[in-house]
A and B are shown apart, each in its own frame.
Chain A
Amino acid sequence: MQRRLFDEMTSPDGSARPAYRHISDWLKWSTLDRLRQRSTEAEVLFRRLGITFIVYGDDGGTERLIPFDVIPRVFSADEWKRLSDGSIQRVRALNMFLHDLYHDRNVMRAGIIPEDVILANAQYQPQMQGFTVPGGIYTHIAGIDIVRVSENEFYVLEDNLRSPSGVAYMLENRQVMMRLFPELFSEMRIAPVDHYPDVLLRTLRGVAPGGAQDPTVVLLTPGAYNSAYYEHAFLADEMGIELVEGADLFVADNAVFMRTTEGPRRVDVIYRRIDDDFIDPLAFRHDSSLGVPGLLSVYRSGRVTIANAMGTGVADDKSIYPYVPALVRFYLGEEPLLANVPTYLLREKDDLAYTLEHLDELVVKEVHGSGGYGMLVGPASTAAQIEIFRHKILANPSNYIAQPTLALSTCPTLVEQGIAPRHVDLRPYVLSGEETVVMPGGLTRVALVEGSLVVNSSQGGGTKDTWILEE
């Protein structure tokens, strides 16, 4: 593991990498005091905007501000082309996979993915079988988590195909940066991201059921107590669409309507931010009060579009992840532009044996876990912690996968001691409708604790603005 950490800004010879030249100079003449002052201003701005998220666990939920770092993450146009092409390629293949999975299952017939991996997966949704969604698009909004370990090595850590969050931070981070450092924006050519809501709305309107002239799009939220509620309200507001809860919608005459003061109004597209299980109490969890009774029947009749589609979770599950490069080759006949992290499937005997012997080097994750919970980061754990985890693995090996600990790249970050390198990842957002596009940027998450590799906001991670330099 004795590998040099790749720093996004500084080359091994101490010079600034090309994309960062300007930032490097800027940091040289910016005093720490000035940066700290800007950082405080940023925090005030975020508080005023009410950008908080809710952390569960302690007791109940508490509202917190995600720490924001004022030093941006920068990519050159060339670097970005590779990342964006790779993300688009991956999402196109995953959409085709989902379509195939719920129709002819050629991928299983061809032996690319074992049947059991899919059919035993609780995210495989039988109710999606045999019906065609508009445009064949299942995951309209996808977030691809990417990490970098060297100049030319990028890995996809995870695909988020259900309802990826965080895009509001991408937009707000940019707003705040433009306010704090207008000079940088005038000196550098940074690709804008502000039009995301516009592109999203166009994407959603583009997948309306056939025949809808001027489609009505709504955003379905679980409500004000959801941890991402701020983002739901923000996006609805930016797109100028209604932010609805389950009780605002109802089904009649094979269509979905929203209750308005002027009577029922037909809804064509539902951008939903609630999970499959809760979306229709008549089809799934009967105790759900968040969903819309009867929605599945209208959906299957092709009279409303749900974005993302139901049953997309089967394609972003950690058990399917190892097969994604093979899916890219199978559906597109292309070589994947972005690689997977080598992954050990602990339900395989050999992989399990190897993993158990190398627990101190590996990252072990629950197949269905998320948010950085239920995982073991070997190199950062004590012997006792490793032993506890060993028992958990042995109790149910197929519930886990393991990956080498990646030396995530670092990016200069303003911390207590001054400016120091901290590990980062990146989530670009891919929108699929009549065309598939990726926003030039995304959400850079940064692990603020020295040496930490966990970037999740629920576990002490912060965010940075992500800049793509135009040529």
Chain B
Amino acid sequence: MLSRTADQLYWMARYVERAENIARILEVSYRMSLMPEETREGLSIWGSAVQIGGNWDEFDAAYGTVNRQNVIRHLALDSNNTSSIYSCIQVARENARALRGSITTEMFESLNATWIELSGIDEPRLAAQGYQNFFDWVKERSHLFRGVIDSTLLRDESHHFIDLGDAIERADNTARLLDGKYHILLPSVEDVGGVLDYYQWGAVLRAVSAFRSYHRIYRNVITPERVAQLLILRADMPRSLHASFNRITDTLDLLCGTRIYECRRQAGEIHARLHFGRMSDIFKSGLHEFLTDFLKSQGSFAVQMQRDFLMIA
């Protein structure tokens, strides 16, 4: 397969997943902002959304003031922000258009329909429709797209590169979300297991569709430690780092065949940390440090993967 084709498949998947994750990040901020503490925490809540999902300097230059309206505009609809939902879907759809020979018609049609609808949404419409409804719609379209891939696309190399893009982007976002929220919630952690924790960490869990899973697994109050464990180490939690790296290593094995690639080694190394790691050790050396280190190794793994398969970077 042409490296460019693989690259376009990979980025198409990454951008759709990123759009979904931006919606999730906005959703968690939105929910938190509805808490009574909004006056005290409001700014940092919306500020952290920018920190996690976008580019702080770009936001600052374009808007200056952190508030709900500006942050949602920046992350959802701003065509100048390359990682807004709008831009992500646009780029994903551009890639899909160029890939029309390599993907199924249903895939293109699904993404194209999302793009057409999204490009008709402006701020007043978004507000009128309700923010929560918009976030749900973005997630729904992303789920639909994944479902279309699952039920129409041949399980060959094309599928593998889509899987890689999807899993790499997801791991990246979960780590950033966790790190960003953990940071912002630190001041209130003295009140472990308190009401505030319940709502704020609850919002994080809801944002990664893990609220119910949390209770099914732990049957206990929400604590940051358990949330971290769920999103980092639990292999059965679909958006966790461990689950993502299970997918990444499995997919790489299919792509590598008998050949030996450096990126496979790096993925294995990261996977081992998630597979054999212990939460107590992670907390001992610092969650923030662990996540920073994870994002760094995953970043260099992604670059190596592109070098190995896509002949770029």
In Å, the complex CA distance between A206 and B255 comes to 34
Interface: A57 (CB within 8 A): no
Which residues of A have CB within 8 Å of B2? Answer: 242, 244, 248, 258-261
In Å, the complex CA distance between A264 and B308 comes to 11
Which residues of A have CB within 8 Å of B309? Answer: 261
Interface: A194 (CB within 8 A): no
Which residues of B have CB within 8 Å of A259? Answer: 2-4, 310-312
In Å, the complex CA distance between A263 and B101 comes to 21
The digit string for A231-258, where 1 denotes a CB below 8 A from any CB of B, is 0010011000011110110000000001
Q: Taking CB as reference atom, which chain B residue is nearest A265? A: B2
Q: Quick one: given A242-B2, A247-B4, A248-B3, are A261 and B157 in contact (CB under 8 Å)?
A: yes
Whether B3 lies near A260 (C-beta < 8 A) is yes
Whole-angstrom distance between the Cβ of B130 and the nearest chain A Cβ = 36
Which residues of B have CB within 8 Å of A394? Answer: none
Which residues of B have CB within 8 Å of A415? Answer: none
In Å, the complex CA distance between A236 and B2 comes to 13
In Å, the complex CA distance between A441 and B89 comes to 44
Interface centre among A242, A260, A261 (most CB of B within 10 A): A261
Q: Taking CB as reference atom, which chain B residue is nearest A257? A: B311
**9 closest Cβ contacts across the A-B interface?**
A259-B3, A259-B311, A261-B309, A261-B6, A261-B1, A248-B4, A224-B98, A248-B2, A242-B2
Which residues of B have CB within 8 Å of A260? Answer: 1-3, 311
In Å, the complex CA distance between A432 and B100 comes to 31
Which residues of B have CB within 8 Å of A261? Answer: 1-3, 6, 157, 161, 255, 309-310
Which residues of B have CB within 8 Å of A224? Answer: 97-98
List residues 210-263 of chain B with CB under 8 A from any CB of chain A: 255
Binding site for A on B (CB under 8 A): 1-4, 6, 97-98, 100-101, 157, 161, 255, 309-312
Which residues of A have CB within 8 Å of B4? Answer: 244-245, 247-248, 259
Whole-angstrom distance between the Cβ of A218 and the nearest chain B Cβ = 9
In Å, the complex CA distance between A100 and B245 comes to 63
Which residues of B have CB within 8 Å of A248? Answer: 2-4
In Å, the complex CA distance between A373 and B302 comes to 50
Q: Taking CB as reference atom, which chain B residue is nearest A236? A: B101
Which residues of B have CB within 8 Å of A263? Answer: 311
In Å, the complex CA distance between A247 and B3 comes to 10
Q: Indicate the size class of the contact surface on chain A.
A: 10 to 19
Whether B101 lies near A233 (C-beta < 8 A) is yes
Whole-angstrom distance between the Cβ of B100 and the nearest chain A Cβ = 8
The digit string for A216-239, where 1 denotes a CB below 8 A from any CB of B, is 000000001000000001001100
Q: Taking CB as reference atom, which chain A residue is nearest B160? A: A261
Q: Taking CB as reference atom, which chain A residue is nearest B3? A: A259
Whole-angstrom distance between the Cβ of B75 and the nearest chain A Cβ = 29
The digit string for A260-279, where 1 denotes a CB below 8 A from any CB of B, is 11111000000000000000
In Å, the complex CA distance between A242 and B101 comes to 11
Q: Taking CB as reference atom, which chain A residue is nearest B98? A: A224
In Å, the complex CA distance between A321 and B157 comes to 50
In Å, the complex CA distance between A264 and B157 comes to 17
List residues 118-139 of chain A with CB under 8 A from any CB of chain B: none
Additional pairs, 15, CB under 8 Å, beyond known A247-B4, A258-B2, A261-B6? A50-B100, A224-B97, A224-B98, A233-B101, A243-B101, A244-B2, A245-B4, A259-B310, A260-B3, A260-B311, A261-B1, A261-B161, A261-B309, A262-B1, A263-B311
Which residues of A have CB within 8 Å of B255? Answer: 261
Whole-angstrom distance between the Cβ of A136 and the nearest chain B Cβ = 32
Which residues of A have CB within 8 Å of B161? Answer: 261
Which residues of B have CB within 8 Å of A242? Answer: 2
Which residues of A have CB within 8 Å of B1? Answer: 260-262
In Å, the complex CA distance between A43 and B109 comes to 20
Which residues of B have CB within 8 Å of A50? Answer: 100
In Å, the complex CA distance between A248 and B4 comes to 7
Which residues of B have CB within 8 Å of A243? Answer: 101
Q: Taking CB as reference atom, which chain B residue is nearest A250? A: B311
Whole-angstrom distance between the Cβ of B4 and the nearest chain A Cβ = 5
Selected A-B contacts with CB under 8 Å, 10 pairs = A224-B97, A244-B2, A244-B4, A248-B3, A248-B4, A258-B2, A259-B3, A260-B3, A261-B6, A262-B1
Whole-angstrom distance between the Cβ of A231 and the nearest chain B Cβ = 13
In Å, the complex CA distance between A80 and B71 comes to 69
Which residues of A have CB within 8 Å of B310? Answer: 259, 261
Whole-angstrom distance between the Cβ of B43 and the nearest chain A Cβ = 43
Interface centre among B2, B6, B255 (most CB of A within 10 A): B2
In Å, the complex CA distance between A166 and B188 comes to 69
Q: Quick one: given A244-B2, A258-B2, are A264 and B98 in contact (CB under 8 Å)?
A: no
In Å, the complex CA distance between A50 and B101 comes to 12
Whole-angstrom distance between the Cβ of A219 and the nearest chain B Cβ = 12
Q: Taking CB as reference atom, which chain A residue is nearest B255? A: A261
Interface centre among A233, A236, A260, A264 (most CB of B within 10 A): A260
The digit string for A323-366, where 1 denotes a CB below 8 A from any CB of B, is 00000000000000000000000000000000000000000000
Whether A237 lies near B3 (C-beta < 8 A) is no
In Å, the complex CA distance between A386 and B41 comes to 76
Whole-angstrom distance between the Cβ of A324 and the nearest chain B Cβ = 38
Whole-angstrom distance between the Cβ of A225 and the nearest chain B Cβ = 10
Which residues of B have CB within 8 Å of A244? Answer: 2, 4
In Å, the complex CA distance between A237 and B1 comes to 14
In Å, the complex CA distance between A260 and B2 comes to 4
In Å, the complex CA distance between A247 and B310 comes to 12
Whole-angstrom distance between the Cβ of B106 and the nearest chain A Cβ = 14
In Å, the complex CA distance between A466 and B312 comes to 46
List residues 38-56 of chain A with CB under 8 A from any CB of chain B: 50
Q: Taking CB as reference atom, which chain B residue is nearest A233? A: B101
Q: Quick one: given A248-B4, A259-B2, A259-B4, are A264 and B311 in contact (CB under 8 Å)?
A: yes
In Å, the complex CA distance between A54 and B100 comes to 18
Whole-angstrom distance between the Cβ of A79 and the nearest chain B Cβ = 38
In Å, the complex CA distance between A243 and B5 comes to 10
Whether A237 lies near B101 (C-beta < 8 A) is yes
In Å, the complex CA distance between A260 and B311 comes to 7
Whole-angstrom distance between the Cβ of A224 and the nearest chain B Cβ = 5
In Å, the complex CA distance between A262 and B160 comes to 14
Which residues of A have CB within 8 Å of B6? Answer: 261
Whole-angstrom distance between the Cβ of A1 and the nearest chain B Cβ = 49
Whole-angstrom distance between the Cβ of A158 and the nearest chain B Cβ = 32
In Å, the complex CA distance between A248 and B3 comes to 7
In Å, the complex CA distance between A188 and B21 comes to 61
Whole-angstrom distance between the Cβ of A155 and the nearest chain B Cβ = 39
Which residues of B have CB within 8 Å of A236? Answer: 101
